[in-house]
C-alpha cells in the first residue's frame, strides 16, 4: 500500500567520462560524457524504501538540470505519496504549470528533463512500495487509474480520456537492437571487431551513425552491410545533422544499403520537415524515426497527425516520465505507428524497458516492426541492470523503475568532486 510523506529530495550531478573512448559520438554530439541528474527521494514511512530517478544528459549542463530539480523540489517535499498518485494528473500539472516556472519551458528543455528526473523517482518509489517493477504496476493498474496519470491538455483533439480507456487492451523478452558497434568516434577496425562480436552474440539488428561525411558513411555502411549480410536489419541515425533537402539527398545515396529507417534526419522540432522527408524516402523503402529529442506530447501528436514518421521513439527522460509517455503510447496506438524507444544513455535502457513491455502487453499487443534500442554501456553502475538474452530485453522482476545506482558509482562519478573527476579535471585543464 502507498504510504509516507516525502521528507527529503536530493539530487546529484553524476558524469561518466565516456568521451575519452569516443563512445556515443555522433554527427552533432562529438564528445559526450554520458551523465545523469540523479534524484533520490525519501519518505517518513520508516520502511527504508527510497525512490531513485534520473534524467540523462551529455556532461556539460548537468549542473543546470540539477539546479532545475532543486527549483521543482518544493512541489514534492512534504507531500503524501498517496495524494500524489491519487491525483497524479493534478500533480503532473502542478510540476509543469507552475505559474512562474513554466515560462522557462514550457514543458521542454531543462525544466522538462528535471520534471522527468523527479517523476521517475516518484514512480520508482511507488512501484517499490507496491513490490512490483514499474511495467507490472502499470499492467496491473485499473484502466481508470492509469488514464488518470495522464495530462490530456493540448492533445484532446486526437485523444480524449474516453478514447484512451477504449484503447486499453490485453495481450501477453522484447526485441532489441544494438547501437554499440558504430559510433562515429570508432575507427573502421573497431567497428569491424565490435560488429563481429555482436553477430556472435546473436544480434540481428544494427544501427550506424551517419551524417558527418558522405564518403565515410558510404564506406562504413558498406562494411557493416557486408558483415551482416542482406537479411539482417540496418538502421541509420543522423542525429539532426541535416536540413530538409539535404536529408533527402544524402539518404537517397545511402538507400542502396537498405536501411530500415533514418533516425533524426533534421531538427526534432520540424514536424513538417519530417513529413516532407518521409514522403520522399518511404518510396525508397526507408522509414523515418524520431523522438529522442522531441520535447513533449504535443510534438508527438503532430508528428502522428502529419504522417511524418514510421517509427516513434519515445524517451523515458525527455518526456515527463511514465505519465507523459503513456499519452504518447496511446496516441501511437491510435495512429498505428510502432513505438521503438530510444535508449542507451545512462539508465535509459533500464527505464524504457518498463514502458515498452507495458506497451506490448497492454497497448500495442504486437511485436511487428517493434524493437527497442540497446547500448552496452554503464549498466554496471546500476543495482538492477537490464538483462539481455538472445538480443531481447528480459522483463525486469525487481520492484521499482530499475534506476537505483550503486552508491559507490555515484560517489566516484559525482561532478566535480568524485574521485574520477578529481583526477581527470586537472589533466583536462592542462
Instruction: Please list the active-site residues.
Output: 209, 342
267 contacts a second copy (rule: CB under 8 A):
yes
Parallel, antiparallel, or unpaired: how do β-strands 174-182 and 392-393 relate? antiparallel
Q: Could you say which of 2, 45, 67, 284 contacts a second copy (CB under 8 A)?
A: 67
Q: Which is nearer to a second copy, 198 or 346 (CB)?
A: 346
Q: How many residues bind a second copy (CB under 8 A)?
A: 64
3-class SS at 287? strand
Q: Which is nearer to a second copy, 50 or 307 (CB)?
A: 307
> In angstroms, rounded to a whole number, what is the distance separating the alpha carbons of residues 107 and 111?
7
108 contacts a second copy (rule: CB under 8 A):
yes
CB of 299 to a second copy, least distance (A): 6
Q: Which is nearer to a second copy, 105 or 395 (CB)?
A: 105
- Stretch near a second copy under the rule CB under 8 A, chosen from 96-104, 216-224, 374-382, 390-398: 96-104
Q: Could you say which of 2, 28, 199, 212 contacts a second copy (CB under 8 A)?
A: 28
157 contacts a second copy (rule: CB under 8 A):
yes
98 contacts a second copy (rule: CB under 8 A):
yes
Q: Which is nearer to a second copy, 148 or 305 (CB)?
A: 305
> In angstroms, rounded to a whole number, what is the distance separating the alpha carbons of residues 173 and 407?
29
3-class SS at 401? coil
CB of 111 to a second copy, least distance (A): 6
> In angstroms, rounded to a whole number, what is the distance separating the alpha carbons of residues 311 and 309?
6
DSSP assignments along 142-198, one per residue: -HHHHHTT---TTTTTT--HHHHHHH------EEEEEEEEE-TTS-HHHHHHHHHHH
E strand map for 316-403: 372-374, 388-389, 392-393
Determine the angle formed by the axes of helices 321-335 and 109-130, rounding to 10 degrees: 100
Q: Which of residues 269-308 bind a second copy (CB under 8 A)?
A: 269-273, 276, 293, 295-296, 298-299, 301-302, 305-306
Host H or E run for residue 138: helix 134-140
Cell of 179: 547501437
Binding residues vs a second copy (CB under 8 A): 28-33, 57-65, 67-68, 71, 97-113, 152-157, 240, 243-246, 266-273, 276, 293, 295-296, 298-299, 301-302, 305-306
Amino acid at each position: 500500500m502507498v504510504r509516507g510523506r516525502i521528507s527529503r529530495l536530493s539530487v546529484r550531478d553524476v558524469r561518466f567520462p565516456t568521451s575519452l573512448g569516443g563512445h556515443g559520438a555522433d554527427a552533432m554530439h562529438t564528445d559526450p560524457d554520458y551523465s545523469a541528474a540523479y534524484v533520490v527521494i525519501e519518505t517518513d514511512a520508516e520502511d527504508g524504501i527510497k525512490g531513485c530517478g534520473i534524467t540523462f544528459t551529455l556532461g556539460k549542463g548537468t549542473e543546470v538540470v540539477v539546479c532545475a530539480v532543486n527549483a521543482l523540489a518544493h512541489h514534492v517535499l512534504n507531500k503524501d505519496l498517496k495524494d500524489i498518485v491519487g491525483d497524479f494528473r493534478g500533480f503532473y500539472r502542478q510540476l509543469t504549470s507552475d505559474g512562474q516556472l513554466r515560462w522557462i519551458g514550457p514543458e521542454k528543455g531543462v525544466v522538462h528533463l528535471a520534471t522527468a528526473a523527479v517523476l521517475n523517482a516518484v514512480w520508482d518509489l511507488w512501484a517499490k512500495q507496491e513490490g512490483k517493477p514499474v511495467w507490472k504496476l502499470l499492467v496491473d493498474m485499473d484502466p481508470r487509474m492509469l488514464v488518470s496519470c495522464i495530462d490530456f491538455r493540448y492533445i484532446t483533439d486526437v485523444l480524449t480520456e474516453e478514447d484512451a480507456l477504449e484503447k486499453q487492451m490485453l495481450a501477453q523478452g522484447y526485441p532489441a537492437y544494438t547501437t554499440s558497434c558504430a559510433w562515429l568516434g570508432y575507427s573502421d577496425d573497431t567497428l569491424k571487431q565490435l560488429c563481429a562480436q555482436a553477430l556472435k552474440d546473436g544480434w540481428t539488428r544494427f544501427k550506424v551513425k551517419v551524417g558527418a561525411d558522405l564518403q565515410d558513411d558510404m564506406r562504413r555502411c558498406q562494411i557493416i552491410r557486408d558483415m551482416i549480410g542482406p537479411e539482417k536489419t540496418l538502421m541509420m541515425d543522423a542525429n539532426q545533422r541535416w536540413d530538409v533537402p539535404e536529408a533527402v539527398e544524402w539518404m537517397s545515396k545511402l538507400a542502396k544499403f537498405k536501411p530500415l529507417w533514418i533516425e533524426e534526419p533534421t531538427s526534432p522540432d520540424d514536424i513538417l520537415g519530417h513529413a516532407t522527408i518521409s514522403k520522399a524516402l518511404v518510396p525508397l523503402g526507408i522509414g523515418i524515426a524520431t523522438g529522442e529529442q522531441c520535447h513533449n506530447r504535443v510534438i508527438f501528436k503532430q508528428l502522428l497527425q502529419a504522417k511524418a514518421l514510421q517509427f516513434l521513439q519515445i524517451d523515458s527522460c525527455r518526456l515527463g516520465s511514465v505519465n507523459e509517455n503513456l499519452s504518447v503510447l496511446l496516441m501511437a496506438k491510435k495512429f498505428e505507428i510502432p513505438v521503438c524507444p530510444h535508449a542507451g544513455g545512462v539508465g535509459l535502457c533500464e527505464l524504457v524497458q518498463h514502458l515498452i513491455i507495458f506497451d506490448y502487453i497492454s497497448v500495442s499487443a504486437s511485436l511487428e516492426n517493434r524493437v527497442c534500442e540497446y547500448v552496452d554501456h554503464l549498466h554496471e553502475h546500476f543495482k538492477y541492470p537490464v538483462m539481455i538474452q538472445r538480443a531481447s530485453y528480459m522483463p525486469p522482476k525487481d520492484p521499482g523503475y530499475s534506476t537505483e545506482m550503486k552508491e559507490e558509482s555515484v560517489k566516484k562519478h559525482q561532478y566535480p568532486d568524485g574521485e574520477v573527476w578529481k583526477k581527470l579535471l586537472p589533466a583536462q585543464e592542462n
